[in-house]
Structure 1
Amino acid sequence: MSDSEVRGTPDAGDEPGVRRNPTPSLLTALLAEGLDPGYAAAAEDRARGHSLNRPLHAGLWCGAGALVLGLIFGVAYAEATDRAPGTEQVRRDIIAQVDAAEARGTDLTRARDDLAARTDAARTAALSGDAQGAAVLDRIADLEQAAALDTVHGPGLTVTLADPVARPDLSDRSRPGADATPVIIDRDLQAVVNSLWASGAEAVAVGNVRVGPGVTIRQAGGAMLVDNQPVPAPYVISAIGQPSRLQTGFVVSDAYVRMSGVAQLYGAGFTVADSDDITLPGATAREIRSAREVGGQ
C-alpha cells in the first residue's frame, strides 16, 4: 500500500491557503502586546486631560467623608451627653430606695426586739408567782437556749476566712480598686461551721448572725447569706466552747485541711485564734405552726 493510499486523498476543504490549527487571537495578542489595552486607553485619556484621579476631586471626596464622620460622631456625643444626667438620676433614685429600705428594716428590727423584751417581761411577771409557773419558765428558758434565741458569751475559738487581696494593676489606672475574683464559697463556711459543731462548740455565729436550727448558709450572686442576712467578707466564724478542745478537734478535721489547701493554692486568708470572751447574739425566732417531739425519753 502506497504512502498516498494510507494518508488518503485530501478533502475539498484542505486547500493550500487554509490553516487547519489557527493560533487563537487572544494568545497572539498576549504575545505581541506586553501591556493591557486599558493602560493605553488610560494614557490616552490622561493626554487629553480627561483623567479622573485629579487631586482636586480627591480632596473634595476626603473633605466630604470627614464631614459625614464628624456629623455622625457629633450626633452620638450629643445623645450620650443627653442620656448621662438621666442615668445618674436613676442611679441616685435606686441608691435612695436602697437606703430607705435598709433604714426601714433597721427600725422594724428595733421594734421587734423591743416587743420581744416586753413580751418576755410580761410572761415572767405572769408565771413567776408560783412553783408551776416557775417550772414553765425554766422549760421555756431551756428551749430558747436550744433554739439559740438568747445572747451568750464565753471563751471559744475564732476562725477567719478572707478572699485574696487584689493585686494592683499598674497598667490600668482607671481601676485602682478592682476586686479579685471571690474564692471563699458557701460550702467553705458550711464545712467550718459543721466542724466546729463536731469539735464541741456550744454556740456558733457567722459574722454577727447566730447559727441555730433551720439556719442556712448560701450564696446569692456575689453575696453570702446567713439566715437570709448578708454577711460581708472577711467572714468571721465564732464558736463558744472549751478552746483547747475546739482547736484540737478542728485542726484534724476535713474543713481545716480544705481551707489550708485553699489558702496555699489561691492565697485566701485563713486564721484560727483563741479568745477568752466571745459574745454571740441571739438568733431570730421563727413562727412555728406545728411541731412534734421525736426521740423523747
Structure 2
Amino acid sequence: MEYTSGAASWQKVVRRLVAGLLPGRPHRRSGWSIGVPVIAVAAGLLFTTTATTAGGTALREDRRPQLTQLIEDRRAQVAANEARAAELRAEVEGRTTALAGSDAPIREQQDRAAEYRAAAGFTALTGPGVTVELNDAPRLGDQTLPDGATNDDLVVHQGDVQAVVNALWAGGAEAMSIMNVRVLTTSAVRCVGNTLLLHGRVYSPPFKIVAIGDPATLQRALADSEGVRLYKDAVDDYQLGYSETVSTVTVPAFEDSTTLRSATVPR
C-alpha cells in the first residue's frame, strides 16, 4: 500500500471528521460516529509523517552491507597509515644514521639504544621453542550438540589464549608471537566473538602462539597451568583443537606503536 501526503487526502479526512462531529439527523449518535473519524485523522497523520520521513527510501533497510564496507574501508585506511608510518620511521632512522657519522654524541646514543633493541623486542629472534595452536571445534552440521553443551563451548575464548600466553611467559619465554605478530609482556589479548583482536587487527582461528625458550621448561609450564588444563578438558569433551610442537622457530620484530607513557633511564 502506498501513502501520500497530498492535499486531497487531507481534505477527505477533514470532511469526514467534520461530518461525524456536526449534528445531523435527530437520532442518537454512537461512539463509533466520533471515534472512527478521530482514528482516521491519527492514522493519516502517522502515514503522512512516515512518508515524509522515508523520502522514498526503506526505513528498515538492512545496513549490514554498509557496516561491512565501512570496516573494510577503515582496515584499508589503517594499513595505508601503517605503511606511511613505516616510511617515516625509516626516513628518520636514515637521517639519524647519517648524522651519527659526523656527530659523536648521536653515534654514542645510537650504540646505546642498539644494546637494548633485542631486549625490547625490536629485533627478530630465532631459536628453539614451542608452538601451540588452538582451534574451534569442527562444525557439527545437522548433528546435535554434546549433552549439556552450548555453541559457546565449541569456540576458543579470550581466557584460553591468555592461559597459554601467561603459561609460556611464566615458563621463561624469551620472545613470543601470536598469529606471527610479536607481542610483549604488556600486549593485550582480546577476543571479539570467536575472533582475536591484537594490536588493532582481527584474526580468525586457528590461533598460533610461538614462544622461544627452553622447550622442556615451556612444556612443563603449559602442563602446570590450570587454565591450559581446563582447555584440554574441553578438547576431550567438545573436540576443540589443541596442538603443541617443539622446533626451531622465528619470532618477528615488534612493529606496533612505541609511544611511551613513562620511562626510566637504564643503568
Q: Which whole-Å deviations, capped at 9, do the CAs of 1:84-118 have from their partners, x for residues lacking one?
A: 9x846x44433332222221111111111122222
Structure 1: distance between partners of 2:143 and 2:218: 44
Q: Structure 1: which 5+ residue stretches go unaligned? A: 1-81, 172-178
1:260 and 2:239 are equivalent in the alignment: no
Deviation at 1:83, TM superposition (A): 8.6
> Given that residues 179 and 208 in structure 2 are in contact (C-alpha distance below 8 angstroms), is that contact kept between their aligned partners in structure 1?
yes
Give the letter for the 1:138 counterpart.
Answer: D
Q: Which whole-Å deviations, capped at 9, do the CAs of 1:64-84 have from their partners, x for residues lacking one?
A: xxxxxxxxxxxxxxxxxx999
Q: Equivalent residue for 2:80?
A: 107
> Given that residues 211 and 251 in structure 2 are in contact (C-alpha distance below 8 angstroms), is that contact kept between their aligned partners in structure 1?
no
Deviation at 1:128, TM superposition (A): 4.8
Deviation at 1:280, TM superposition (A): 2.3
Deviation at 1:239, TM superposition (A): 0.7
3-state DSSP class of the match of 1:270?
A: strand
3-state DSSP class of the match of 2:246?
A: strand
Q: Equivalent residue for 1:208?
A: 180
Structure 1: distance between partners of 2:203 and 2:143: 31
Larger relative contact order (CA 8 Å, sep ≥ 6): 2
3-state DSSP class of the match of 2:172?
A: coil
> Given that residues 175 and 251 in structure 2 are in contact (C-alpha distance below 8 angstroms), is that contact kept between their aligned partners in structure 1?
no
Deviation at 1:160, TM superposition (A): 0.5
Q: TM-score of the superposition, structure 2-length normalised?
A: 0.65
Give the letter for the 1:225 counterpart.
Answer: L
3-state DSSP class of the match of 2:209?
A: strand
3-state DSSP class of the match of 1:263?
A: helix
Q: Structure 2: which 5+ residue stretches go unaligned? A: 1-55, 145-149
Deviation at 1:169, TM superposition (A): 1.0
Return closer, same or farther for 1:91/1:286 CA change in 2, 3 Å cut-off.
same
Q: How does 1:1-297 map to 2 (within 5 A)?
A: 87=61, 90-129=63-102, 132-169=105-142, 180-181=151-152, 182-292=154-264
Q: TM-score of the superposition, structure 1-length normalised?
A: 0.59
Return closer, same or farther for 1:221/1:164 CA change in 2, 3 Å cut-off.
closer
Return closer, same or farther for 1:229/1:142 CA change in 2, 3 Å cut-off.
farther
Give the letter for the 2:137 counterpart.
Answer: P
Return closer, same or farther for 1:265/1:144 CA change in 2, 3 Å cut-off.
same
> Given that residues 194 and 204 in structure 2 are in contact (C-alpha distance below 8 angstroms), is that contact kept between their aligned partners in structure 1?
no
> Given that residues 160 and 228 in structure 2 are in contact (C-alpha distance below 8 angstroms), is that contact kept between their aligned partners in structure 1?
no
Identity score, percent: 28
3-state DSSP class of the match of 1:284?
A: coil
Return closer, same or farther for 1:260/1:167 CA change in 2, 3 Å cut-off.
same
Greater Cα radius of gyration, structure 1 or 2: 1
Q: Which whole-Å deviations, capped at 9, do the CAs of 1:185-235 have from their partners, x for residues lacking one?
A: 212211211111121211111113321143111234453222343221111
> Given that residues 204 and 240 in structure 1 are in contact (C-alpha distance below 8 angstroms), is that contact kept between their aligned partners in structure 2?
yes
> Given that residues 135 and 242 in structure 2 are in contact (C-alpha distance below 8 angstroms), is that contact kept between their aligned partners in structure 1?
yes
3-state DSSP class of the match of 2:122?
A: coil
Aligned length: 206
Q: Which whole-Å deviations, capped at 9, do the CAs of 1:115-169 have from their partners, x for residues lacking one?
A: 2222222222322556654442232123333332333333321000111112111
3-state DSSP class of the match of 1:236?
A: strand
